[in-house]
Amino acid sequence: MESWLWRMKATDYLFILKNRFLKKDNVLFILIISFIFVAIFSCITMINFVSVFRSSMLSSDMGRTLIIDKPKSDDDLIKIKELKNVEVIESNKYLMGVEIYVPEFNKPKAEGMIELLPLLKENDVKIIKGSKIQNAGDIICPKNLYPHSLYTGNIYNYETNYFGSYLLKANNLIGSSITVENENEKIALKIVGTFENKILNGAAACYISKTDFNKFKEDIEYCSNDECYEYTSLMLRVDDYNNLVVLEKELKDLGYNSIRNYTFDEEILSSLSYIPLFVGSIVMIISMLIIYSFFKKKIRNNQYQYGVLKSVGYTNFNIKIIAILEGGFITTISILWSVVLYFISYHIVANNYLQELSYNNFTVPVPYAYIALFVFVVFIYIFLIINYLSSKSLNACIQKLFEGE
């Protein structure tokens, strides 16, 4: 008997929820709160992006590199080489790579090009397929290779062009040779292995030995007034970004001022976090007020129905369950719709406005954990306010019934 009554109650719950859900005020609330949630999700994404981007920059090879002037003596050079936590000491010549034309990779609107970098330390890359560099002419490339320049035009008038369909699976190229052109000389390079794409390294960046790199890049840094000057500065790369400040102090003690290869304004980065944090907080407060106002009005308008339900035997607990289920169902639909809108917006922005990040192997991460935490807080908040408002309303619902509202 009790089982039959429970099934009848469950059927009643579904009937009541079905008839209430299709009301105009529910649909309007879902639309409004969905767009508000999309704004909050976007703010959370922006805050998370700034944090991840900063840490990625600082942990990259370039972010851990200092530039100093040429040592004044051999003794100074020895002292610099003996400094702790320094994993690479090389000429500034090896700081930047060389862009090389590769005709085999020519595509419509995208000329074949790769960037050659010198492999200064064997564990700078982790080989995932094939072998490491062993012989002259060996080259290793990222597993997702985009053998084209990201930019077209000149430094005064250029545009960004990234064709996702031109991205190659370099694993399939292992064992093949490519012909690169250097000052009208054609040089054959053999792809012997692939490595995991490195963050902030272009998708066209491949590594060759230091010896081979010297064939493509001269020791001349610049020429002026018919006189040329060789590279004299040194690049020093520490094993961990946290040791960068220590190295700067040690170099200063030796009489050398250093320049960080990657510098950025912390205030600008902070503002990029504070602005979405501020906007997100304001929008979140507004959303909480809208939710509270909506359910307060809904429960007040349902007092007459609550009185009817109590008169036919429903307990306060049963009525609270109906109110909570209705609120939970409306909230679930709102969140699902906002998630759909968020991911549509995310992919539109990522594919059309963040091409440079994709080229440099950096994606804007979706902060699933933070979004899930926010959704959890929203459900708890709605449960609490519905429980509070319905308890308050149930005390007056019989009076509303007799008033004939």
pLDDT, tens only, 277-321: 899 999 999 999 999 999 988 888 777 777 777 777 777 787 788
pLDDT band at 6 (very low <50, low <70, confident <90, very high): very low
Tokens encoding 117 = 């970098």
Q: Which residue has the higher pLDDT, 352 or 97?
A: 97
- Paired sense of beta strands 113-118 and 205-208, if any: parallel
What's the full length of the chain, in residues? 405
Q: Which residue has the higher pLDDT, 210 or 5?
A: 210
Tokens encoding 144 = 């997702």
Under 8 Å between Cβ of 189 and 177: yes
pLDDT digits (tens, 9 = 90+) for 101-126: 888 899 888 889 999 999 998 888 88
CA atoms within 13 A on the CB side of 138: 14
Mean pLDDT of 26-55: 89
Under 8 Å between Cβ of 79 and 89: no
pLDDT score of 315: 77
Mean pLDDT of 195-220: 87
Mean pLDDT of 155-160: 65
Q: Among 44-48, 135-139, 258-262, where is mean pLDDT lowest?
A: 258-262
Under 8 Å between Cβ of 150 and 160: yes
Q: Which residue has the higher pLDDT, 273 or 307?
A: 273
Q: Which residue has the higher pLDDT, 311 or 19?
A: 311
pLDDT band at 368 (very low <50, low <70, confident <90, very high): very high
Alpha-carbon gap, residue 11 to 7, rounded angstroms: 6
Distances in whole angstroms, Cα of residue 77 to Cα of each of 69, 234, 405: 11, 10, 92
pLDDT score of 2: 44
pLDDT score of 155: 56
Tokens encoding 11 = 């059927």
Q: Does the structure show a pLDDT above 50 at 8?
A: no
Backbone dihedral region of 199: left (phi > 0), alpha (psi from -120 to 50 degrees) or beta?
A: beta
Under 8 Å between Cβ of 161 and 111: no
Q: Does the structure show a pLDDT above 50 at 4?
A: no
Query: Any residues with CB less than 8 A from the CB of 39 and at least 6 apart, and which?
Result: 279, 280, 283
pLDDT score of 175: 93
What percentage of the chain carries pLDDT values higher than 70? 89
Helix (H, G, I), strand (E, B) or coil at 180: strand
User: Cα-atom radius of gyration of the chain, to the nearest Å?
Assistant: 32
Tokens encoding 105 = 């990779």
Q: Does the structure show a pLDDT above 70 at 395?
A: no
Q: Does the structure show a pLDDT above 60 at 402?
A: no
φ/ψ (deg, to 5) at 262: -110, 115
Under 8 Å between Cβ of 188 and 178: yes
Nearest to residue 26, comparing CAs of 339, 342, 326? 326
Alpha helices per DSSP H over 189-257 = 210-216, 244-253
Q: Among 10-14, 26-30, 240-244, where is mean pLDDT lowest?
A: 10-14
Q: Which DSSP string do the residues of 192-204 spell out, in sequence order? A: EEEEPPPTTS-TT
Mean pLDDT of 75-103: 89
pLDDT score of 7: 45
Distances in whole angstroms, Cα of residue 21 to Cα of each of 25, 52, 67, 293: 9, 41, 65, 17
Q: Mean pLDDT for the chain?
A: 83
Under 8 Å between Cβ of 229 and 221: yes
pLDDT score of 210: 92
Tokens encoding 131 = 């072998």
Q: Which DSSP string do the residues of 40-97 spell out, in sequence order? A: HHHHHHHHHHHHHHHHHHHHSTGGGEEEEPPPSSHHHHHHHHT-TTEEEEEEGGGSS-
Q: Which residue has the higher pLDDT, 11 or 145?
A: 145
Crossing angle, helix 303-311 and helix 368-394, to 10 degrees? 70
**Beta pairing partners, 138:** 190
Q: Does the structure show a pLDDT above 60 at 47?
A: yes
| Other beta carbons less than 10 A from residue 14's beta carbon | 11
Alpha-carbon gap, residue 141 to 194, rounded angstroms: 5
Under 8 Å between Cβ of 254 and 76: yes
φ/ψ (deg, to 5) at 336: -60, -45
Q: Among 47-61, 155-169, 364-378, where is mean pLDDT lowest?
A: 155-169
Tokens encoding 315 = 């307990």
What percentage of the chain carries pLDDT values higher than 90? 32
pLDDT band at 341 (very low <50, low <70, confident <90, very high): very high
pLDDT score of 51: 84
pLDDT score of 151: 75
Q: Which residue has the higher pLDDT, 115 or 156?
A: 115
Q: Does the structure show a pLDDT above 80 at 158?
A: no
Under 8 Å between Cβ of 200 and 142: no
Q: Does the structure show a pLDDT above 60 at 400?
A: no
Q: Tokens 């590594």 identify what position? A: 207
